[in-house]
């Protein structure tokens, strides 16, 4: 019997944030956090690269590159947290899925 690529133990109720008359629904939280982390890494490196065009801002540019490099370590930590979380909930079920990011 093939394994469900989206097993029910990997699904949490969505996080719903109410903003005025609108609501923001967040599903698959680990994946969302990973995507937001990737966007931040890109922003740090992009802004740092632009700041290198201005010698007066070179130190800030280097700082942003360091922040971006540190944040690149966050993605594997997110994956590890997800695997450990799944391991604790259902230790006999596989933690790898086709959606593993």
Number of domains forming the structure of the chain = 1
Owning domain of residue 37: 28-89
CA distance linking residue 28 with residue 89, whole number of Å? 16
Residue 2 lies in a domain: no
pLDDT digits (tens, 9 = 90+) for 25-46: 777 778 888 899 999 999 999 9
Q: In the structure, what pLDDT confidence band is assigned to residue 56 with cuts at 50, 70 and 90?
A: very high
Residue 20 lies in a domain: no
Residue 55 lies in a domain: yes
In the prediction, which pLDDT does 4 show? Answer: 45
Residue 42 lies in a domain: yes
Helices (H), 23-98: 29-51, 58-72, 74-89
Residue 17 lies in a domain: no
Residue 57 lies in a domain: yes
Name beta bridge partners: 15.
Answer: 26
CA distance linking residue 71 with residue 19, whole number of Å? 28
Tell me the whole-structure pTM to 2 decimals.
0.63
Residue 44 lies in a domain: yes
In the prediction, which pLDDT does 23 show? Answer: 72
């Amino acid at each position: 019997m093939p394994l469900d690529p989206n097993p029910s133990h990997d699904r949490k109720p969505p996080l719903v944030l109410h903003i005025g008359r609108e609501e923001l629904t967040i599903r698959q939280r680990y994946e969302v956090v990973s995507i937001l982390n990737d966007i931040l890494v890109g922003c740090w490196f992009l802004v740092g690269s632009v700041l290198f065009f201005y010698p007066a801002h070179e130190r800030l540019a280097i700082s942003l590159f360091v922040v971006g490099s540190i944040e690149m370590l966050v993605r594997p930590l997110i994956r590890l947290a997800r695997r450990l979380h799944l391991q604790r909930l259902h230790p006999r079920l596989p933690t790898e899925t086709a959606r593993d990011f």
